[in-house]
Chain A
Amino acid sequence: MDDGTRNALRGRRLLIVEDDYMVALELVRSLEEQGVEVLGPVGSVEDALALVEQEGARMDGAVLDINLRNKRVYPVAEALAARGVPFIFATGYDALVIPEAYAHVPRCEKPLDKALLARVLARVH
């Protein structure tokens, strides 16, 4: 990871939505190493919506897992989009099953390449 990317994420407030604790833990650790202020992690649509409601537009971005205990994360995506907060998907789902409305959203495949994820995050504003 180059310094440009490292600095690009420094100080950003990013919401992490991921329902597997260990996977979330690794993601948080990796982002915190890059100076990210992590909001969450949260593992359910309800908790994520509550956090978005609370933080509002003070978030700089979000990393969203798509399937949260068999519920889809799209209501969270909608709430973020309504507030102008950019987000990316981190998911095991193929692009084919992602609804048309979110086809343009950057997607990182699981298992995650954390360096790639950081670069993708650095690009979205």
Chain B
Amino acid sequence: MSNRSAFSTDPKPAREKELFEILVESSTDFAIFTVAPDGTATSWNISAERVFGYAEGEIVGSSADVIYTPEDRAAGVHEAERVEAGRTGRAEDERWHRRKDGTRFWASGVMMPLRSPGEGFVKIVRDRTEHHRAEEALREREERFRLLATSVPQLVFRTAPDGGRSWASPQWIDFTGLGPEESLGHGWLEAIHPDERMATLERWGEAVETGEYYLEHRVRRARDGEYRWHQTRARPVDPAQGAASEWVGTMTDIHELRGLQDRQEVLVAELQHRTRNLLAVVQSITSQTIRKAASLEEFQTEFEGRLRALGRVQGLLARLDHHGIDLHMLLEAELRAHGDGALESGKISVDGPPVALPAISAQALGLALHELATNAVKYGALGQGTGRLSVRWNIERGGAEPVVSLEWRESGVTLPGAGLPMRKGYGSELIERALPYQLRARTSLEFGPDGVRCAIAVPVGLNGAGPGHG
């Protein structure tokens, strides 16, 4: 009855105390102990013994403040905590603690006053070292990522798999002029060329399936408003998570590279065009040489001579592409090919200022000089002992574009008379008709009593020095 009476009169406190004790003793994750208002330990559970290294017997009755680090104690952290717990009913902390053997561990704790402040406090502490280390490691990794992401020349971003960005590197912000906030979510699309925004966004759908984002698109540079080609790549940080993972990506400026690729394509197309045109020129030379040749032997000599002249011009073109061909070099190449030492013999004088001939003009002019030189060797100044050749030119700048005015003048020659082949040949057709037609040149070709006189005035400059023609 007395039991029963005790049960009925005061059942709750007894039961609560028992439950509390069971809880405290069975709680292996939490160190739970009570202290008096001055910090003296009044109870110490088995976990507290495991966590701090002090046995219940050796600490109860002594100060529990030994669990704080000396620095914290010197700073009065232990007392401040009790004051706060007394005043607000709860003091939480997360800090380094000290074990009996002097080693330290990271722990979170909460201190609450017992029923009345006079009775002291209960403190619950949980060892969080592992968790803390993991957090530290994560922070370090984040820091390393940030350091890398902010020091590479690429624009770096972090994104959800739908393209919604959560972070953009300072390089992105500098390049696009979009602020960190403006770039969040899909705000960054503002810097993508309007024509490519749709593709840029749609590509994320494919990326989730393939596990990689890849696209070349134009990004606006804030500094000058230029849209520059970038290569954008992104991959999931944790491929195991698949589509749900966060993605990290880079945008690399490939504008110059693309420019070079485009230029190379143009060059290849031009080369194709140029080669075919050269063959067309060879074709026309063949037909006309055949038409005017009296025999196969004559055809062979003339045709091969013209092919070689064409070859010499091509050689000069290849060497001096885009700068034009120097008239002096072109002329010397022809005279040297025909003159047999005549250039050095004093029979020939060459004089004129430097002139860069556009490629367009050089080929036709080269062929014309070849015809003149061939004729001079066969019938004129380069074939006769008394013959002299003077080639002079100057640049006339009076008109809409500069004109190179060249005079080929032979002297001391006895011409063979009316049967002179050049009069009706390929050479005169080239000089009198082809040059005016294709170079807008003014030309004259005379067979004077003491040798050939040829004047050629070619406009240069307006057509530029671009490659090829036809």
* Chain A contact residues, CB within 8 Å of chain B: 18-26, 43, 65, 67-70, 91-94, 96-97, 109-112
Which of A94, A110, A112 lies in contact with B269, CB distance below 8 A?
A94
Report how far A70 CA is from B434 CA in the complex, Å: 18
Contact B434 A69, beta carbon cutoff 8 Å: no
Q: Which chain B positions have C-beta within 8 A of A97?
A: 269, 273
Indicate whether B301 reaches chain A with its CB closer than 8 angstroms. no
Q: State whether B284 touches A23 (Cβ < 8 A).
A: yes
Instruction: Quote the shortest CB–CB distance from B163 to chain A (angstroms).
Output: 32
Q: Which residues of A contact B285 (CB under 8 A)?
A: 22
Say if the beta carbon of B283 comes within 8 Å of chain A.
yes
* Contact of B438 with A43 in the complex, beta carbons under 8 Å: yes
State the Cβ distance, B272 to closest chain A Cβ, in Å.
5
A68 to B463, CA, bound (A): 10
**In the complex, chain A residues whose CB is within 8 Å of the CB of B288:** 22, 25-26
CA distance A25 to B437 in the complex (A): 11
Most buried by A among B281, B283, B463, B466: B283
A72 to chain B, nearest CB (A): 12
B273–A111 CB distance below 8 A: no
The minimal Cβ–Cβ distance linking A76 to chain B, given in whole angstroms, is 15
Contact with A along B392-405 (1 / 0, CB 8 A): 00000000000000
In this complex, the interface size class of chain B, counting residues with CB under 8 Å from chain A, is 20 to 34
Assembled-state Cα–Cα distance A65/B434 (Å): 17
User: Taking the complex as formed, is B276 at the interface, i.e. its CB lies under 8 A from any CB of chain A?
Assistant: yes
Q: Determine if A19 and B283 form an interchain contact, defined as CB atoms under 8 angstroms apart.
A: no
For A25, list chain B residues within 8 Å (CB).
Answer: 284, 288
Q: Which of A18, A24, A68, A92 has the most CB of B within 10 A?
A: A92
The prevalent SS among residues of B at the interface is: helix
Residues of A within 8 A of B434 (CB): 21-22
- The residues of A that contact B430 with a CB separation of less than 8 Å are 21-22
Q: How far is the CB of A103 from chain B (nearest CB, A)?
A: 15
Interface residues of B in 418-470 (CB under 8 A from A): 430, 433-435, 437-438, 463-464, 466, 468-470
B205 smallest CB distance to A (angstroms): 29
- Please determine whether A23 and B360 come into contact, CB atoms closer than 8 angstroms: no
Contacts of B277 in A (CB 8 A): 20, 92, 110
Q: Are B433 and A21 in contact (CB under 8 A)?
A: yes
B197 interfacial contact with A, CB 8 Å: no
Q: Which 10 A-B pairs have the closest CB atoms?
A: A92-B276, A21-B434, A22-B284, A110-B280, A111-B283, A21-B437, A92-B273, A70-B466, A111-B280, A110-B276
Decide: B279 and A110 in contact? CB cutoff 8 A: yes
Most buried by B among A18, A67, A68: A67
Cβ contacts under 8 Å, A70 to chain B: 360, 463-464, 466, 468-469
A67-B280 contact in complex given A20-B470, A21-B438, A43-B438, C-beta closer than 8 Å? no
| B positions within 8 Å CB-CB of A | 269, 272-277, 279-285, 287-288, 360, 364, 430, 433-435, 437-438, 463-464, 466, 468-470
Known A23-B283, A110-B279, A112-B280; 6 more pairs at CB < 8 Å: A43-B438, A67-B468, A67-B470, A92-B274, A92-B277, A111-B276
**Contact A26–B269 (Cβ < 8 Å):** no
- CB contacts (< 8 Å) of B281 on chain A: these are 20, 22-23
The one of A18, A24, A91 in contact with B273, judged by C-beta atoms closer than 8 angstroms, is: A91
Q: Is the CB of A26 within 8 A of B287?
A: yes
How far in angstroms is the closest Cβ of chain A from B278? 8
Complex CA–CA separation, A109 to B287 (angstroms):
18
In the complex with contacts A70-B463, A93-B273, A20-B438 CB distance below 8 A:
yes
Choice from A19, A24, A93 contacting B272 with Cβ under 8 Å: A93
Contact residues in B for A24 (Cβ distance below 8 Å): 437
| Residue contact A69 to B282, C-beta cutoff 8 Å | no
CA distance A20 to B277 in the complex (A): 9
Residues on B with C-beta less than 8 A from A96 are 269
Would you give the shortest CB distance from A89 to chain B, in whole angstroms?
12
Residues of B within 8 A of A21 (CB): 364, 430, 433-435, 437-438
> Please, which residues of chain A bring their CB within 8 A of the CB of B437?
21, 24, 43
Q: How far is the CA of A68 from the CA of B275 in the complex (A)?
A: 16
On whether the beta carbons of A109 and B469 are closer than 8 Å, the reply is no
Residue of B nearest to A22 (CB): B284
Docked-complex contact B284 and A93, CB < 8 angstroms = no
Neighbouring A residues of B283 by C-beta, 8 Å: 23, 26, 111-112
Q: Using CB atoms, name the residue of chain B closest to A109.
A: B276
A43 neighbours in B (Cβ, 8 Å): 437-438
- Which residues of chain A are near B466, meaning CB under 8 Å? 70
Contact of B284 among A26, A65, A67, A91 (CB under 8 A): A26
- Expressed in whole angstroms, the minimum distance between the Cβ of B54 and any Cβ of chain A is 86
Cα–Cα distance between A18 and B464 once the two chains are bound (Å): 19
Closest chain-B Cβ to A111's Cβ sits at a distance in Å of 4
Q: B426 CB to closest chain A CB, in angstroms?
A: 9
Selected contact of B470 from candidates A26, A65, A94, A109, CB within 8 Å: A65
